[in-house]
Structure 1
Amino acid sequence: MLRLLIADDHPLFRAALTAAVADAVPGATVEATASMADLLAALERQPDCDLVLLDLRMPGSSGFSSLIQLRGLRPDVPVAIVSGEENPLVVRRAIDFGACGYIPKSASLAVIGDAIRALLDGNEWLPEGLAEAVDQGAAEQALTRQIATLTPQQFKVLMALADGRLNKQIGYELNVTEATVKAHVTAILRKLGLYRRTQAALLARRLLDASADTLTPPLDSTQSDIGDDD
């Protein structure tokens, strides 16, 4: 039996998406969630999930943070984005961050059903006409691949940097020492090819804005400021 998880905070669209799944894949088990916390709990209950249909914006997540977190925690579970955002750059980033497909919310239920069947067959799916428009520069492609190499804990630290948290605050929230946080920041900067935590924070804030024009942060210094947050 196929098992799918839907994550979207809009009740009407959750219901429509659930109906589309039921029509496209009769007999499939579907669980709908409305927040990132609920989705993670559902994945704990259904570790053999066949497909996650994920909205980019819902409580507990913003931009690509939920997609990157899911790919880090459960790289074996396919994740497709279902979003009202149809910017080709956003679609390209989603695919580069590990999404197996991108379904616009403006698509008809019939098209959504076709997409779900294709995704469950192991194919990548992009909306007709948008796939050809999707393009991304080599530098940004490299950076998105680098972000995808972060561990789940490193990604949590990166998101905390976006909120301007100090190492002590991050350590308290993650229940680790300040030295461990500094080690994570060092690893993050190395993996992303950056020099300053302020660059990492800027990049993280752009990750949270799925419509940002570019991910590449400015290189404002060659000096590291890993510990300069007190």
Structure 2
Amino acid sequence: MGIHNLERMFQPESVAVIGANERKESIGAALMRNLIQGKYPGKIYPVNVEGEKMWGRQVFRSVADIQEPVDLAIIATPIDTVPQLVRECGQIQAGGAVLISAGGKEIGGKGKEIEAAIRREAETFGLRLIGPNCMGITCSQSALNASFASQMPHPGKTAFISQSGSMYTSILDISLREKIGFSYFVSLGSMLDVDFGDVIDYLGGVTDVSSILIYIEDLSRHRTFMSAARSVSRV
């Protein structure tokens, strides 16, 4: 699907956090805290089936209850709930979803079945997916920390794309310590949809990126990757 709807994911005007909560050590709490403390200027919608107020905001029982446009959904719930949540995001015409949830193909046959169900739901609605099993994404220009890494990188014009969550955090820690600026951090995880080629194509067309740093563990769409890399190298 190329760069379709990636602009809505990296430059969203609204973000729904599905699985938001206030439990101190939880990923749902970290995602909310990072968006708020990072001073993300858009609308933030916490989504939790319990539907109580949290983080000083109204909580919605589902994304359908928001009844406002949602550009980006961040899903941090058990992976067996994700196919239905992806369907709901597609039904409200969200731009895309970052799937923090782990437990997909890396655990074997059952996980592969769940990932296949997630892909089917996303393809039905044209919903873009980053992940599953990823750290999330950050974009300095839009003050977006849609990840569970606690800090944003210093502003810069380098983008970092990684499959590995541990490499994501390692490079982020080094960049903060050495005061090296980055415009984007992108954790791709299992690459169920959006992959290296898609992100390279997108980053090659934005003004706040002059170089792209990549950590690759495996490639599934070799030609797409090479085409994107050649295209960006000529920009």
TM-score in terms of structure 1 length: 0.34
Structure in which a larger fraction of residues adopt strand: 2
Pair member with larger Rg = 1
Q: Which structure dedicates a bigger proportion of its chain to helix?
A: 1
